[in-house]
Amino acid sequence: MSLRYALLALLTAQPMTGYDISKGFSGSVAHVWHAPDSQIYPELNRMERDGLLTSEQVPWGKRSTKKEYHVTEAGLTAFRAWMDEPLDIRRQRDPAYLKAAYLDWAQPEAAREQLRKQREYWRDHLALLEGTRAMLLDRSHPTLVARLSHLPEEQGELAARYRIHAYNGLIAHAKTELAWIDDGLALVDELDGQ
């Protein structure tokens, strides 16, 4: 998946400025597709050049303006086409699993520290995902609210339920990672004779 489809996904909810996109991205789409601002802004410009977006200047502060991006019909067509294509599954590249396979080269305390840091990340990430899912469940997530405001009730329910489904998968993945990390810590202790 390229960044452009993640941006189109976000912009199908409502027109947004680059700032709003960055803020909205970090609170929703970034949970499944991470990208820093240094990638988002150039991609928005490319998408506009390619006819997937248009922009207009909107007031920003007392004397300034910002670009507000709107998805074009070509952008919607491209997004629908991408959604209808089967996903090309790629082999995993995960440094945590690569390191786990070779922890016999690490000192036991270094192995434990590696796993503890991973556990801290996944605990924080799980809390974030569960908080986002709660806002999807009660229909208070800002991006979902924007999307629901212009969809018929039945279509809005589909949008909410599919997003909840995605977050259920992300939460299950985070819980699996945490269980795997706990198993790894127990293994280090066992092999270190503790």
Q: What is the pLDDT of residues 51-74, one digit of tens each?
A: 999 999 988 888 888 999 999 999
pLDDT at 1: 52
For residues 83 and 163, give the distance between their C-alpha atoms in angstroms, rounded to a whole number.
14
Q: What are the extents of the domains in the chain?
A: 3-84, 95-191
pLDDT at residue 25, rounded to an integer? 79
Contacts for 114 with CB less than 8 Å, ≥ 6 apart: 99, 103, 106
Alpha helices in the chain (DSSP H): 3-11, 18-27, 37-49, 73-84, 95-101, 108-137, 142-148, 153-191
Q: CATH assignment of 3-84, given 3.90.420.10, 1.10.10.10, 3.20.20.70, 1.10.1050.10?
A: 1.10.10.10
pLDDT score, position 28: 79
User: What is the average per-residue pLDDT within 75-82?
Assistant: 95
Mean pLDDT throughout 23-50? 87
Quickly state the pLDDT bin for 27 (edges 50, 70, 90). Answer: confident
The pLDDT, as a whole number, for residue 33 is: 80
Q: How confident is the model over 175-193, as a mean pLDDT?
A: 96
